[in-house]
């Protein structure tokens, strides 16, 4: 992924063009999805007892009777105007709902990612003492953690921390803007659950990366200079290992989002995952479509940030 021979700005613009194409591909597919509905989309949304008038009204509003490409173009137009219509049942503006819920998911995902960074110093330490007790123990723990799906962690942790130990509340929510302390209180367990898999994964990748880096000649030179181990790790090993770690952090965002569905539904956190689950239940197709599109935008942005990160970390990647 890291290609130092390619001028940096070209890499970024290639990424941007790819991102736009991916966005168009995914949003178009999302629009086309409603054509798969048995019967018609309007029929599906309104249920078996809908009158023809109700169906006609819905079609007029969402255009489910139009060809896919026409519907897609009008959806794109709506997007540019910043108005994606209203949710089917609560009749709130879709864009507002999605962004508000996304902020909640973002908070949890961001905190979980921050917690998972603990894997990096642990990896640094164990990689510099390979096959010692600490290394073996951490490797076993991470291997086991990677085998426990997030939904299992959610169940086990809520049993342990909410039912047996009663350290954290099992469910509930407070807005960060209204009561930050309560918000952090409610968010603790979801964040912990979501970060477990991520921490183990990050640790593993970082450990392998550090082991490889520590075999480089320039590390032998640093050791020959008599530099202390801590200095060598932070000044000579950390930066070379970062590009790979950054890539993995970007890539694992998909896994975190999938994990957030589980975490949010179990702890009743009003985020994107919770929203899409209720949207699925009520066949709120426009809302599902909006969430899919938002996800793609987030991923394109994250990958561009990862590219930017390369340039900050690796002096060989520079705008030419």
CA dist., res. 221 & res. 224, Å (int): 5
- Does the protein bind another protein through residue 196 (CB under 8 A)? no
Q: Which of 281, 273, 277 is nearest to 254 (CA)?
A: 273
Complex with another protein: residue 78 or 314, whichever CB lies closer: 314
Give the shortest CB-82-to-another protein separation in angstroms: 22
Q: Which of 216, 202, 220 is nearest to 124 (CA)?
A: 202
- Does the protein bind another protein through residue 280 (CB under 8 A)? yes
Per CB under 8 A, the segment of 53-61, 90-98, 188-196, 287-295 that binds another protein is: 287-295
Residue choice 191, 192, 222, 269 for contact with another protein (CB under 8 A): 222
Give the shortest CB-24-to-another protein separation in angstroms: 9
- Does the protein bind another protein through residue 127 (CB under 8 A)? no
CA dist., res. 94 & res. 288, Å (int): 10
Residue choice 12, 93, 255, 270 for contact with another protein (CB under 8 A): 255
Complex with another protein: residue 117 or 251, whichever CB lies closer: 251
Q: Which of residues 104-123 bind another protein (CB under 8 A)?
A: none
Give the shortest CB-177-to-another protein separation in angstroms: 27
Residue choice 174, 227, 248, 304 for contact with another protein (CB under 8 A): 227
Give the shortest CB-162-to-another protein separation in angstroms: 10
CA dist., res. 111 & res. 260, Å (int): 12
Give the shortest CB-141-to-another protein separation in angstroms: 13
Q: Which pair of tokens denotes residue 313?
A: 């970390």
- Does the protein bind another protein through residue 218 (CB under 8 A)? yes
Residue choice 63, 119, 190, 240 for contact with another protein (CB under 8 A): 240
- Does the protein bind another protein through residue 306 (CB under 8 A)? no
Q: Which of residues 134-193 bind another protein (CB under 8 A)?
A: 143-144, 146-152, 155-156, 159, 163
Q: Which of residues 11-50 bind another protein (CB under 8 A)?
A: 18, 21-22, 25-26, 30, 33-34, 36-38, 41, 44
- Does the protein bind another protein through residue 311 (CB under 8 A)? no
Give the shortest CB-11-to-another protein separation in angstroms: 14
CA dist., res. 317 & res. 314, Å (int): 6
């Amino acid at each position: 992924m890291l290609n130092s021979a390619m001028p940096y700005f070209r890499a970024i613009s290639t990424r941007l063009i790819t991102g736009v194409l991916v966005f168009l591909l995914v949003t178009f597919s999302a629009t086309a999805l409603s054509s798969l509905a048995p019967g018609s989309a309007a029929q599906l949304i309104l249920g078996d007892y809908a009158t023809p008038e109700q169906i006609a009204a819905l079609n007029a509003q969402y255009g489910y009777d139009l060809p896919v490409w026409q519907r897609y173009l009008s959806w794109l137009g709506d997007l540019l105007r910043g108005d994606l219509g209203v949710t089917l049942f609560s009749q709130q503006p879709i864009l507002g709902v999605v962004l508000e819920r996304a902020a909640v998911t973002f908070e949890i995902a961001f905190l979980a990612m921050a917690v998972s960074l603990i894997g990096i110093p642990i990896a640094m330490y164990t990689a510099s003492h390979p096959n010692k007790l600490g290394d073996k123990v951490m490797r076993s723990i991470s291997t086991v953690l990677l085998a426990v799906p997030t939904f299992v962690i959610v169940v086990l942790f809520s049993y342990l921390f909410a039912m047996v130990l009663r350290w954290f509340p099992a469910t509930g929510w407070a807005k960060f803007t209204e009561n930050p302390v309560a918000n952090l209180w409610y968010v603790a367990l979801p964040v912990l659950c979501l970060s477990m898999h991520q921490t183990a994964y990050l640790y593993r990748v970082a450990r392998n990366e550090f082991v490889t880096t520590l075999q480089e000649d320039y590390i032998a030179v640093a050791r020959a200079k008599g530099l202390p181990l801590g200095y060598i790790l932070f000044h000579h090993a950390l930066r070379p290992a970062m590009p790979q770690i950054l890539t993995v952090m970007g890539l694992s965002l998909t896994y975190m989002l999938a994990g957030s569905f589980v975490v949010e539904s179990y702890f009743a956190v009003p985020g994107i995952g919770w929203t899409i689950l209720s949207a699925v239940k009520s066949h709120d197709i426009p809302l599902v479509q909006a969430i899919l599109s938002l996800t793609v935008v987030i991923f394109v942005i994250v990958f561009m940030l990862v590219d930017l990160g390369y340039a900050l970390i690796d002096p060989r990647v520079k705008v030419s």
